[in-house]
Amino acid sequence: MHIHFIKILDLYFIIEVLAVVFGLIYIWLLIKERIECWIFGILGSLLSIFLFVHTKLYSEAILYSYYVVVGFYGYYLWSRKSKDDSVLRISDVNPVNHVYYILSSCVLAFSLAWFFNTYTDAERPYIDSFTTVFSFLATFLEAKKVLSSWKYWIVINGLTIGLYFDKGLDIYAGLILVYFIMSFVGYFKWKKLMA
């Protein structure tokens, strides 16, 4: 029984490490605007779904399922050429749109948190739901190459570091710390490219 437990523990560790490696490759390629980023994002997200279900972070599992779908969408958008034969360019949205994004995301996050808090054995449902819902938004904006997506990621990643450490996902917390730093790098690089 003890040996069996160690094997399962090793399997979770290997999956977590692989997901983190794929995540690091993803963020690096994303900053460089390389379309291959989406392939690594999809692979890392598939592995992450399994781990988040195991650790009862159900909102995170839903989020990483969404990442898989948006990975395909991002790949499609970034590979498609427009009428002027150019690829998708970095842009930004009107600040008024952000008010709408934030308000609607807060309503969705509270609703999701209430559901998981009331009907499941989810742990940390409020912070989990907020980081999840805002990650939905940031990922969608990222796929469309919206500069502001990086600002959302700075805040989301900062909050997520603590959540993952709290759940004993230390390697993931390390990944998110790298994401937090790389979000600043991505923002300034994309801002320069947009100008």
pTM across the whole model: 0.81
What backbone torsions phi and psi does residue 146 show, to the nearest 5 degrees?
-90, 125
Is 184 inside a domain boundary? Answer: yes
Query: If pLDDT is split at 50, 70 and 90, which confidence band does 8 have?
Result: low
Instruction: Please indicate, yes or no, if residue 87 is contained in any of the structural domains.
Output: no
The reply to whether 89 falls in a domain is no
CB 64 within 8 A of CB 52: yes
- Residues 6 or more apart whose CB falls under 8 angstroms from that of 77 comprise 88, 143, 144
Domain ranges, residue 183: 2-80+94-194
Give the Cα separation of 191 and 101 in Å (integer).
21
- Is residue 31's pLDDT more than 70? yes
% of the chain exceeding 70 in pLDDT: 92
pLDDT digits (tens, 9 = 90+) for 77-136: 888 865 555 667 899 999 999 999 999 999 999 999 999 899 988 888 899 899 989 999
Alpha helices in 80-169, H assignment, sequence order? 95-119, 125-143, 149-166
| Banded pLDDT at 9 (limits 50, 70, 90) | low
Q: Is residue 163 part of a domain?
A: yes
For residue 14, tell me if it sits in a domain: yes
Q: Is residue 7 part of a domain?
A: yes
Judge whether residue 191 has pLDDT over 90. yes
Number of domains within the chain: 1
pLDDT (0 to 100) of residue 59: 78
- The answer to whether residue 103 sits within a structural domain is yes
- Selection from 1-15, 26-40, 83-97 with the highest mean pLDDT: 26-40
